[in-house]
Structure 1
Amino acid sequence: MALDQNPTAAILATVPVARLYVHPFNPRSEIDEAGIVTLAENIRALGLIQNLAGIQDDDGRIGIVAGGRRLRALERLGDDPRFAAVPVRIAPDLATARLWAASENHLRVALHPADEIREYAALAGRGVVAAEIAIAFGVTDAHVRRRLKLAGLPAPVLAALRADEISLGAAACFTLCDDLDHALGVLEQARGRGFDAQRLRRLLKPAAIRDTDRRARFVGLEAYQQAGGRITRDLFEGEVYCDDPEILDACFAEKLTEAAEARRAAEGWKWVRTFEEPYLPYEESRALGAARLYPVPGELSPEQTERYAALAERAEAEDLDADEAAELDWLGALLDGGFTAEQVALAGIVVYVGHDGALRTEAGLVRAEDRAEAEAAGLLAPSRHADDARTKSKSPLSAALAEDLARGARGARQQAALRDPDLILDLLAFELSGRIGAAQAFGLRRDIVPNQPGTATGFALDARLTEAAPAPENPWDFDRAEAFRAFRETGAEHTRAELLRHLAGLLAVSDEKLGALIDAEAGTDIRAVWTPTAENFLGRVSGAYLDALWRELLDLAPEAPAATAFAKLRKGEKAARLESLFADPETRAALGLGGEQEARVAAWLPPEAF
């Protein structure tokens, strides 16, 4: 049906605000009270720029169908006689009023943020303050100030914002970069690609270091700037960036050295060393000190013990005043004890800065050259180390054999992982994300992670872990793009299988607990790939070891005839008998093994290695 509306039939009349109300035709059901207050200030300052529109009812009142927000703002201006009555355009009928309501509220287009920035900047350039701009546009002061912070953006960035090629949040990131060429280069990367703010900040400030970094927190921004370092402040997120990482690193190293030496001098340690990483790995600590001394525990008198318990109980209830809290700390320090002067004179400390920017100390490390003196002074117990040495000397496995067995276990784990590709990919993501810390789950390197013992007998891995990948005839000069295209055309199933087998072949978990978890999840079974033979194990341990193993597997007492007869055999014969026991079902049947003994033989692994 064609519309036949005569706009000239409408009446423009000045109507007291008291006779006006918001008509149900008005579609705005949710009202922003803060916005109404801002609009009222705008009308008070600039007047009613746009008239209201409504329909007169039978009581002579006029329901506003277009301008409900303006009416609510006018009702707040009852103290201003200028707005006691206002112009209202009155519709000739309900159909016209309904059309006005739809047109007013649905065809309105908000000012684009890029246009806001330009308009606000032009007004500010003419001396108009932010508060006046806010009133003129019916927005808050904070809104105007946020837009004005973007007024200095390069023209291409504002143009990209206006073309909706980047978001307003993305445009704000460009305030971080004062290198125009670099900023425009990043802009070209970001156009239409939906980069989030975090990614843009990394692209715009690739070398910068956040003030939350442990180095910046330890050095302090003031000291960094005094050394000539520059900073950039994010105008919107409140973040601060250090733009000169070399200066920050130099300040960090200098302050760490000074702090370490000050601590050594204050506490009297024999030596000090700094470590620039945020934690001290066990391997590093072990390399630095041959042994560790521990603080000597303190002792409290009976009266002090009773007082400490009472204060500690009240501390749980948060019922201590400042003096009592200080007393509890003092008693706790006495109980904790500390290093003696004799310990300090022979040991040293490693000082480093933790993730939180705080100075940390590993104390009581005795270097190899001071170990004999520490033992002589009774600070280290020689018997403990002698026991360790005896334990090592008693090991029945040679280093080569131990390595072979470790490789076999590694291969078994890799083979088990082949059955669980999601586990492998999740573990890879775990390591690559850095959440694994100083440990590792994969041998992420070009060389092959060893998984085959030096002796091949008794060991059989899945071919996917042993077959070499096809290589180009000339690995230096070929069309890699064409080769990659051909590889992808083999299909997702093939490429996923290649990823799986190569990642499984790199599996080299260094953390014992993590390795145990992987074994449990994947169902690692070392005996599925490795069986003891004379060549790979039995001929490489002592005769006494073989005697004990024979008795263990067959559940024999040392004086049993089968045990004593075995003990009289030559070592080679013992190894052959045991190899047959592990590999030959007929041998086990001839020996009359029961179900429990069969299971023991099938599951046995050298306890010294696995």
Structure 2
Amino acid sequence: MTKLQTYTSTLVALSHLRLHPANVRGADAYTEASVAALAANIREVGLLQPLLVQTLDKSGYGVLAGGRRLAALKLLAGDRKVKGFSGKTPIACHVVPDDAPATAALSLSENEMQAPMDAIDRLEAFTALRETDGLDIAAIARMFGLGERSVRETLRIGLVHGEIRDAHRAGAVSLETLKAFAAHPDREVQLEVFTALSSDGQRVESWQVKRALNDRGVRQGDALGRFVLDAYRDADGPVAADLIEEDSVLSDPGLVQTVLARQLDDLAEEARAEMGFAWAEHRIDPDWNAFDAYGRVYPQPVALDPEAQAQVDKLSARIEELAEAYEVAEDMDEQDRLETAHDAVQAEIDGLTTRLRPEDVATAGVIAVWQHGGVRMIPGLVRPEDKPTTGDDADRSGSTPEGQTDTGPKISGKLGADMAHVRTRAMGLALAQCPELARDYAEFLLIRGVCGASGYGDAANSSTVSASVASRGPTEPEGSLRQIETGFETLASDLDVAWLDLPGAEGFAAFRLLTVADRGALLAYAVAQTLEPRTAPTLRDAVREVVEREALPNIRDAWAPDAAFLQRLTKPDLLTILRDVGLRSEAKVYESGRKSNLVDYMVKLFAEPFATLTDAQMDAVTSWAPDLMAHAPVEEEDVTAGAGDGGDDGSETGDGPLPGDTGEMIDAFNAVPLADGTPRVEVVKVA
């Protein structure tokens, strides 16, 4: 058996210690930077482990193991600011006998046989220092020569869900992946992501975690988080707090987007008011190709009077001075200062020599864009529908659709299209809850489309009857449209559609066994899905207009001017709406405020009209809707009949329009009994 080696303990003055030639690490391995943290630790808690030394000569000892500790001690002794360390400081050492063999093996053994602490070990050690020893983060950082952020990063691993930490200890989750989970302070969110990513039995990688957590909130220290933080807090947005404040997470992404949109609206409105443009909008991470359809206006040269010309000449001379100074400047900071001054003077010259034409200002606007963590203003854009046209297109220029008066708020083409979806889906939801009306409408269109087009021709072996789902608008609806689609989802959940999963004739047989009520609900729901998006002025379909008036007499029963709509109008348009509903004094108050505050006020006003309103104001507020949404006024002499919902432009199909008022036509149609003599307006059970 190998004899157990024993060593003598002694104290040696620091100045008598140097590296042993057999030390496996040379002196070059111990730089000041590499031992700074250890020096800080020794300064706080002292030398915990003696050095392993061997006598070299009468002048001192050589350090076989502990060269890094020796370098740290000498660093402390050389720092005059540190008290208690000098060349005379006694250092605890274990002395290796002079006749001991394999001294290099001793040095290597101490370095190689150590088991470094992993992230969990460090966490538990730091936690014990806080909870048992009462040290704060700053004290722990000093003790180990670390930055406070490094200590916090270690401690916040303790905020990782226990199941994930257990997976790390078992080797199933790497340290990098563990740190990726620690970047999000909400343990429940961490567990959801971990469960989802590990469900297929594959190893969870850090990049997968980071990508998944990106959708679970916005980091407070990111550009977006910093930009919206104050307004987000004002809106009582939830924050998942982290030990590192800047890594706390704004955990309601929807509210972040709402706040961001409001702030961009305010900035765009301020720029619009300053430049005198007609409109202002915002975009978040836009598709830049979409701007290709926009026009752009630029300031045009103007004639200068003698006084203005003299000012321009003076500024031009200043430009030359700055340019000459820039050429000889050697310091980059000075060059930056001169360049900034040059741009400011040039902007002043441009302001004197160029100006936007009034007709350009009347159609152009400004868009505030959020992209790549910052705001960019794009002034002078002209919406596609407002771009000047030439030739044959001149008669169709302008943004006002046929039949719409040029009053009320200015509606962009994109907003008009979105409003068409909202209005049509609202009408559809109402129609889906009126089975008899939906049946009448469907049968009327079907029979009229066939008989009016080809008479009572002989029957074919197959039918050309078909229907398809119309466009529903955005895949992720917001505001009123989201509420409407939720209503459709509720209706759909009550429909009897089990027969749809049965094959062929079996499915048809099951369908025929449905109750009259179930079939009526199915038909109404299906017909509601066929309505193509239309605004009121562009409907041009008398039959559908009659159906819509009966299904939903007042659009305000399904829609109110909400934030999603109001935010997209300019501040002048919002103030005009307030004045139109009789709130002139309120409009005056908000003239000098931020657009977002005005929007907030109007959202509350339309959602629940204030009890302080007069009767006239109450009626105006509860009935107001833009021309695109409300039913057009009924004209007493209007006897024009439409022909259904078949064409994109609502044009007639078949041999031509049928005579008579549309309402009379539908009444006459309903008056015709079915083949068995049962009145059409009564529910008939199909065998």
TM-score of the pair, normalised by structure 1: 0.50
For 1:180 and 1:162, the matched residues in 2 are separated by: 18
Aligned equivalent of 1:99: 105
For 2:24 and 2:213, the matched residues in 1 are separated by: 44
Aligned equivalent of 1:200: 209
Q: Residue 68 in 1 paired to residue 67 in 2? A: yes
Aligned equivalent of 1:365: 382
The residue identity in structure 2 corresponding to 1:128 is L
Query: Which of 89, 96, 104 is residue 95 of structure 2 equivalent to?
Result: 89
Deviation of 1:117 (Å): 0.2
Match of 2:159, SS? coil
Q: Residue 118 in 1 paired to residue 128 in 2? A: no
Aligned equivalent of 2:233: 225
Change beyond 3 A, Cα 1:135–1:50: farther
Aligned equivalent of 1:7: 5
The residue identity in structure 1 corresponding to 2:20 is H
The answer to whether the 8 Å contact 1:224/1:247 transfers is yes
The answer to whether the 8 Å contact 2:22/2:107 transfers is yes
For 1:279 and 1:139, the matched residues in 2 are separated by: 43
1:180-230 deviations in Å (ceiling 9; x for gaps):
44422323426873623x53133134242456988767x632112212323
The answer to whether the 8 Å contact 2:312/2:352 transfers is no
The answer to whether the 8 Å contact 1:256/1:352 transfers is yes
The answer to whether the 8 Å contact 1:214/1:354 transfers is no
Deviation of 1:167 (Å): 3.3
The answer to whether the 8 Å contact 1:38/1:140 transfers is no
Match of 1:151, SS? helix
Match of 1:99, SS? helix
Q: Work out the number of aligned pairs and report it.
A: 369
Deviation of 1:97 (Å): 2.2
Deviation of 1:263 (Å): 5.1
The residue identity in structure 1 corresponding to 2:301 is P
Q: Residue 169 in 1 paired to residue 169 in 2? A: no
Aligned equivalent of 2:24: 27
For 1:16 and 1:293, the matched residues in 2 are separated by: 82
For 1:279 and 1:258, the matched residues in 2 are separated by: 18
Aligned equivalent of 1:331: 349
Deviation of 1:112 (Å): 1.5
The answer to whether the 8 Å contact 2:53/2:93 transfers is no
Deviation of 1:353 (Å): 2.1
For 2:292 and 2:91, the matched residues in 1 are separated by: 84
Aligned equivalent of 2:492: none
For 1:192 and 1:268, the matched residues in 2 are separated by: 59
Q: How does 1:264-279 map to 2 (within 5 A)?
A: 264=272, 267-269=275-277, 271-272=278-279, 274=281, 276-279=283-286
The answer to whether the 8 Å contact 2:129/2:135 transfers is yes
Q: Residue 146 in 1 paired to residue 143 in 2? A: no
Q: How does 1:245-264 map to 2 (within 5 A)?
A: 245-257=253-265, 260=268, 264=272
Match of 1:150, SS? helix
Aligned equivalent of 2:300: 296
1:411-469 deviations in Å (ceiling 9; x for gaps):
xxxxxxxxxxxxxxxxxxxxxxxxxxxxxxxxxxxxxxxxxxxxxxxxxxxxxxxxxxx
The answer to whether the 8 Å contact 2:366/2:380 transfers is yes
Change beyond 3 A, Cα 1:145–1:349: closer
Deviation of 1:116 (Å): 1.0
The answer to which structure, 1 or 2, has the higher relative contact order (CA under 8 A, 6+ apart) is 2
Deviation of 1:265 (Å): 5.1
1:71-90 deviations in Å (ceiling 9; x for gaps):
33444565458833534322
Q: Residue 157 in 1 paired to residue 168 in 2? A: no
Match of 1:250, SS? helix
For 1:260 and 1:41, the matched residues in 2 are separated by: 53
Match of 2:115, SS? coil
The residue identity in structure 2 corresponding to 1:353 is V
For 1:477 and 1:153, the matched residues in 2 are separated by: 48
The answer to whether the 8 Å contact 2:221/2:246 transfers is no
Taking only the aligned residue pairs, the percentage that are identical comes to 27
Pairwise CA RMSD? 4.3
Deviation of 1:21 (Å): 1.7
The residue identity in structure 2 corresponding to 1:338 is R
Match of 1:128, SS? coil
For 1:175 and 1:152, the matched residues in 2 are separated by: 7
Q: Residue 349 in 1 paired to residue 349 in 2? A: no
Deviation of 1:366 (Å): 7.9
Return 5+ residue gaps in structure 2 as ranges.
Answer: 78-83, 327-334, 395-500, 504-687
Change beyond 3 A, Cα 1:258–1:237: closer
For 1:366 and 1:74, the matched residues in 2 are separated by: 72
For 2:298 and 2:320, the matched residues in 1 are separated by: 28
For 1:62 and 1:296, the matched residues in 2 are separated by: 86
For 1:211 and 1:14, the matched residues in 2 are separated by: 53
Change beyond 3 A, Cα 1:122–1:283: closer
For 1:70 and 1:162, the matched residues in 2 are separated by: 30
Match of 2:49, SS? coil
The answer to whether the 8 Å contact 1:16/1:86 transfers is no
Q: How does 1:499-538 map to 2 (within 5 A)?
A: none
For 1:156 and 1:32, the matched residues in 2 are separated by: 40
Change beyond 3 A, Cα 1:192–1:65: farther
Deviation of 1:11 (Å): 3.8
The residue identity in structure 1 corresponding to 2:203 is R
Change beyond 3 A, Cα 1:84–1:142: farther
For 1:231 and 1:299, the matched residues in 2 are separated by: 57
1:293-312 deviations in Å (ceiling 9; x for gaps):
54322355665554444333
Deviation of 1:22 (Å): 0.9
Deviation of 1:237 (Å): 10
Deviation of 1:36 (Å): 3.5
1:508-533 deviations in Å (ceiling 9; x for gaps):
xxxxxxxxxxxxxxxxxxxxxxxxxx
1:493-547 deviations in Å (ceiling 9; x for gaps):
xxxxxxxxxxxxxxxxxxxxxxxxxxxxxxxxxxxxxxxxxxxxxxxxxxxxxxx
For 1:295 and 1:324, the matched residues in 2 are separated by: 20
Change beyond 3 A, Cα 1:297–1:136: closer
For 2:54 and 2:252, the matched residues in 1 are separated by: 67
The residue identity in structure 2 corresponding to 1:296 is Q
Aligned equivalent of 1:313: 320
Change beyond 3 A, Cα 1:18–1:305: closer
Change beyond 3 A, Cα 1:59–1:104: same
For 1:57 and 1:132, the matched residues in 2 are separated by: 39
Deviation of 1:281 (Å): 6.0
For 1:38 and 1:214, the matched residues in 2 are separated by: 32
For 1:281 and 1:48, the matched residues in 2 are separated by: 63
Change beyond 3 A, Cα 1:266–1:26: closer
The answer to whether the 8 Å contact 1:65/1:100 transfers is yes
The residue identity in structure 2 corresponding to 1:33 is E
1:48-72 deviations in Å (ceiling 9; x for gaps):
4322222223546321111222333
Change beyond 3 A, Cα 1:342–1:132: closer
The residue identity in structure 1 corresponding to 2:236 is G
TM-score of the pair, normalised by structure 2: 0.45
Deviation of 1:243 (Å): 2.3
